[in-house]
Structure 1
Amino acid sequence: MANIIQNLQIPTLIMSHNKTLAAQLATEFKYFFPKNAVHYFVSYFDYYQPESYIPNRDIYIEKESTINKEIEMFRLSTMASLLSRKDVIVVASVSSLYGLGSKDTFENNRIYFEVGNEYDFDEIKRNLLKIQYKPVLGKIEAGMFEFKGDIVDIYSSMENILYRLFFDENKLEFISIKDSMTFSDKGKLNHLNIWPATQFLQNMGNLDNILIAIENEMKERVEYFKKEGKDLEANRIQKRVLYDIRMIKETGFTTGIENYSPYFDDRKAGQAPNTIFDYFPDDFLYIIDESHMSLPQLQAMPKADRSRKLNLIDYGFRLPSAIDHRPLNFDELKTSLSWEYNEDIIQNLGLNKIKKDAKTLFVSATPGEYEISKSGDVPEQIIRPTGLLDPITYVYPKDGDYEKLISSVDKLLNKKPFIKKYLNGYSDDTTIKDILLE
């Protein structure tokens, strides 16, 4: 894989079917490419219990999750590197099919600083808050900022770095880099990009119209349930949506806000979500490691997600538009990467998601029929990671003349005397022949 990446010299996405293998691959590629931007992009949940409803037992399960802050930093740095560098290698799990914030929104909301330019402090604060940086109030964490007279400290949301900006009144004098844990100096910069502190940055400028559209869908759904004689479901969805609207108005957030993502992303019904694939250029390399395991997961995940969402929608826990908060389905994936041509899917995806020059490499010891059928070339590569050859093996008769076997053992003992310890328990005058006959 490393040799192929080295020869092609294009951004690469390597997908594995589990986090552990992905972590191992990321470590190895950092060794192969020490000067490249090698990233680890997997689900940032340490624990995740999705929202669901079990109709036959009338059990509603609320969403519960625990976010791993370090992995969230890895994901953010991946997105930033893909928009600012060419030498990017991303090792991901199949969770990369799930939605992210819009590439354009993420890119357009970065804050650029350059030494020698003048800046308004109030505007800096507004812009940092807009991209979800928070002021330091107590404990200092990644994604925070602090104003100290003519000094602005920005704690990176992507790595353990503190950017300290020194101003002379409104003019930026210089930018110092410090370790955010030890505050040791790590150099200076002439310019700096501060990227959003969240993967799901939304454009809130049209918030009033978005909330009106959500409320209108709720009214339609309530009317539908009442016509069907489902007063419980009608009451349930009305209470849920009105509460969510109130929370978004007051705080800009509500639990389960991702279920309204089609409105915030300005996506039509059925339109494909934004994913990490959008951050790659048209010409990139997609390697599916252990494809016989990864491809079935790529096909099954969207189906399982849809089944769970339909129960929530049918029983009044979520609006029908929540079905479009989903992973990229397999038909969309294979069309966007030009494995297959489907005009209807292309219309649904939009041309900006079609990677017409993307290259795909399936890697497997036991490839399935699908990858073989889609591959123009199927080279076989036999690899011994240790570099050792197969040993010469001799098979002797079960009984009979032992002279050849005895002579072989004698040669072995002369070559490797340390294995004589396995003869412990026998007297010194015992021969190999005696042991074999015994």
Structure 2
Amino acid sequence: MPSERRFRPIPTTRFVRKRITGKIMEVIQYPDSPFKLHQPFPPAGDQPTAIAGLLEGLSDGLAYQTLLGVTGSGKTYTMANVIAQSGRPAIIMAHNKTLAAQLYAEMREFFPENAVEYFVSYYDYYQPEAYVPSRDLFIEKDSAINEHIEQMRLSATKNLMTRDDVIIVATVSAIYGIGDPTEYQQMVLSVKEGDTIEQRDIIATLVSMQYERGDLDFKRGSFRVRGDVIDVYPAESSENALRISLFDDEIDRLDMFDPLSGSLIQRVGRYTVFPSSHYVTPRDTVLRACESIKEELRERIDFFTKENRPVEQQRIEQRTRFDLEMLYEMGFCKGIENYSRHFSGKKEGEPPPTLMDYLPDNAIMFIDESHVTVTQIGGMYKGDASRKQNLVDYGFRLPSARDNRPLKFHEFEKVMPQTVFVSATPAKYEEEHAGQVVEQVVRPTGLVDPQIIIRPVATQVDDLMSEINDRIQKGERVLVTTLTKRMAGTTHRLLQRTRHQSALPAQRYRHGRAR
């Protein structure tokens, strides 16, 4: 049950500014908090009590809390206030892209001066590789990557490593394997004015970070060379590019510029370029991984030989050796994620590195619509495992490919930071794990849920006509819903009868499925 205590508000630093629209917007920054909350209105209804209760639970070290808020009570605004007052990085989990996009847009409005990031699947279309034994049909992986979302994912991990004022809005994509954060950070290119470095070394480093040289086609994730000037379009940037001007193997100056117009934006003393992919790894790690892959390949070849399965033996050898050649020559290959266990050095069955590994130790997690999201997280592993097993059994992938997977639910629980479940209808899991339940029932507007009245079936038509007439006299509208489309048609015809039409001369009825 929610606490009845009155919580003392935290002192704030406030200043006011005008929006372009002319509306007064209050901007609040709490002591020791890097977040600046743009507050269109003060918390109202049950919001102040809910905010204070959640903050108290966080300070008391509660691992799990539940925000039980009715629809329309402003739960997103409550989350924003908790983040602003706690001053801690946060991740908000949603169960689909639509909800995540809505939360992202709202958080951007509340925190336009902070790093609000979006981490969802970057595929517009995705057909995973699969094998159907009954038809002897192998389906090649096919996908279409949304470059803008890929840039936002890279921006999210970069800001988690470089800033404290970060809010990540994510879907279950956050529990799927990506590159190891330690090796990812080792692959950055840090440059500073006055540094001594040869041009060829900068180019070699950029290539190892999977940047493409594009002297004619300058795009995100590429670089171009013009004399002693190297232009780099960072993979995580959507607007600005970096110009490195060299003089006698020394960095003379660093400038940010507009990649479209070429106009300079500002001079910077130092800059860190992050890799073009989450799967980049140092050369030493690649070579070590290749040796590990070859050892596993030998074991798999021996297995198929003993089982007298020459087709599978030839298939796994041919496919894996091709990938090894690509890794030796280029440092990456198609489907490199299937070898993630070898790159990370983890043992068989250990969880892969995910976005959760990029979160700082003091992060807060909000699981929105937790009654759906928690269940979805729990179901991701089994669906992925059944598809991978066929690929392994029939020689399309090494057994280590099974470790390129989403987290199992118990693994997810181990990496969860302090968590707030947010739902109007918490499920059994939230009820069992809630250190406290904070209720948010009274809406800021003061509106209450409509009263539900149950009436007998015998008089339902007369009751319906009576209610319709009452609404018409007040100049209001009426929505009549039925269980089936057939019942909607029957009700429609009933209301069109002469005796009812005379009572409702100005009304027109339509029927169809409610969506």
TM-score (normalised: structure 2): 0.70
Compute the displacement of 1:215 (Å): 2.2
Q: What residue in structure 1 maps to residue 430 of structure 2?
A: 371
Can you list the C-alpha shifts for 1:212-242, whole angstroms capped at 9, x where unaligned?
Answer: 3322222221221222232322222222222
- Alignment-mate amino acid for residue 327 of structure 1: P
> Residue 268 in 1 paired to residue 347 in 2?
yes
Q: What residue in structure 2 maps to residue 127 of structure 1?
A: 205
Partner residue of 2:307 out of 210, 213, 228: 228
Q: What residue in structure 2 maps to residue 112 of structure 1?
A: 190
Compute the displacement of 1:385 (Å): 7.2
Structure 1 residue matching 2:381: 3-state secondary structure: helix
Can you list the C-alpha shifts for 1:327-357, whole angstroms capped at 9, x where unaligned?
Answer: 11111111223xxxxxxxxxxxxxxxxxxxx
State the alpha-carbon separation in 2 of the partners of residues 390 and 300 from structure 1: 33
Structure 2 residue matching 1:380: 3-state secondary structure: strand
- Alignment-mate amino acid for residue 181 of structure 1: L
Can you list the C-alpha shifts for 1:305-330, whole angstroms capped at 9, x where unaligned?
Answer: 11111111111111111111111111
State the alpha-carbon separation in 2 of the partners of residues 9 and 393 from structure 1: 42
- Alignment-mate amino acid for residue 301 of structure 2: V
Structure 2 residue matching 1:101: 3-state secondary structure: coil
State the superposition RMSD in angstroms. Answer: 2.9
Partner residue of 1:183 out of 262, 278, 281: 262
State the alpha-carbon separation in 1 of the partners of residues 378 and 140 from structure 2: 26
State the alpha-carbon separation in 2 of the partners of residues 107 and 152 from structure 1: 22
State the alpha-carbon separation in 2 of the partners of residues 58 and 150 from structure 1: 56
Q: What residue in structure 2 maps to residue 312 of structure 1?
A: 391
Partner residue of 1:289 out of 365, 368, 386: 368
Partner residue of 2:336 out of 252, 257, 260: 257
> Residue 101 in 1 paired to residue 160 in 2?
no
Q: What residue in structure 2 maps to residue 29 of structure 1?
A: 107
State the alpha-carbon separation in 2 of the partners of residues 214 and 393 from structure 1: 64
Partner residue of 2:219 out of 109, 121, 141: 141
Compute the displacement of 1:175 (Å): 2.2
User: Contact between 1:203 and 1:264, CA under 8 Å: does it hold in 2?
Assistant: no
TM-score (normalised: structure 1): 0.82
Q: What residue in structure 2 maps to residue 199 of structure 1?
A: 278
Can you list the C-alpha shifts for 1:231-256, whole angstroms capped at 9, x where unaligned?
Answer: 32222222222222233333333322
User: Are the structure 2 counterparts of residues 383 and 317 from structure 1 closer, same or farther at C-alpha, using a change threshold of 3 Å?
Assistant: farther
Q: What residue in structure 2 maps to residue 302 of structure 1?
A: 381
Q: Could you list the structure 1 runs, at least 4 aligned residues long, displaced by more than 4 angstroms after superposition.
A: 383-394, 434-438
User: Contact between 2:119 and 2:156, CA under 8 Å: does it hold in 1?
Assistant: yes
User: Are the structure 2 counterparts of residues 365 and 389 from structure 1 closer, same or farther at C-alpha, using a change threshold of 3 Å?
Assistant: closer
State the alpha-carbon separation in 1 of the partners of residues 91 and 257 from structure 2: 31
Q: What residue in structure 2 maps to residue 53 of structure 1?
A: 131
The correspondence of residues 277-426 of structure 1 with structure 2, limited to 5 A, is: 277-337=356-416, 358-382=417-441, 384=443, 388=447
User: Contact between 1:202 and 1:265, CA under 8 Å: does it hold in 2?
Assistant: no
User: Contact between 2:187 and 2:281, CA under 8 Å: does it hold in 1?
Assistant: no
Structure 1 residue matching 2:168: 3-state secondary structure: strand
User: Are the structure 2 counterparts of residues 294 and 436 from structure 1 closer, same or farther at C-alpha, using a change threshold of 3 Å?
Assistant: closer
Partner residue of 1:173 out of 229, 252, 260: 252
Compute the displacement of 1:383 (Å): 5.8
Aligned length: 392
- Alignment-mate amino acid for residue 338 of structure 2: N
Q: What residue in structure 1 maps to residue 26 of structure 2?
A: none
- Alignment-mate amino acid for residue 238 of structure 1: E
Segments of 5+ residues of structure 1 without an aligned counterpart are 338-357, 417-433
User: Are the structure 2 counterparts of residues 383 and 244 from structure 1 closer, same or farther at C-alpha, using a change threshold of 3 Å?
Assistant: farther
Compute the displacement of 1:118 (Å): 3.1
User: Contact between 1:210 and 1:263, CA under 8 Å: does it hold in 2?
Assistant: yes
Compare 258-267 and 385-394 and name the one that shifted more.
385-394
Q: What residue in structure 1 maps to residue 25 of structure 2?
A: none
Segments of 5+ residues of structure 2 without an aligned counterpart are 1-78, 454-458, 477-501, 507-515
Structure 1 residue matching 2:169: 3-state secondary structure: strand
Q: Greater relative contact order (Cα 8 A, min sep 6): structure 1 or 2?
A: 2
User: Contact between 2:218 and 2:224, CA under 8 Å: does it hold in 1?
Assistant: no
Structure 2 residue matching 1:366: 3-state secondary structure: coil
State the alpha-carbon separation in 1 of the partners of residues 360 and 288 from structure 2: 33
User: Contact between 1:218 and 1:238, CA under 8 Å: does it hold in 2?
Assistant: yes
- Alignment-mate amino acid for residue 204 of structure 2: R
- Alignment-mate amino acid for residue 377 of structure 1: Q
State the alpha-carbon separation in 2 of the partners of residues 231 and 409 from structure 1: 79
State the alpha-carbon separation in 2 of the partners of residues 6 and 384 from structure 1: 21
Q: What residue in structure 1 maps to residue 144 of structure 2?
A: 66
State the alpha-carbon separation in 2 of the partners of residues 41 and 93 from structure 1: 7
User: Contact between 2:198 and 2:250, CA under 8 Å: does it hold in 1?
Assistant: no
Q: What residue in structure 1 maps to residue 155 of structure 2?
A: 77
- Alignment-mate amino acid for residue 150 of structure 1: D
Compare 265-274 and 133-142 and name the one that shifted more.
133-142
User: Contact between 2:210 and 2:275, CA under 8 Å: does it hold in 1?
Assistant: yes
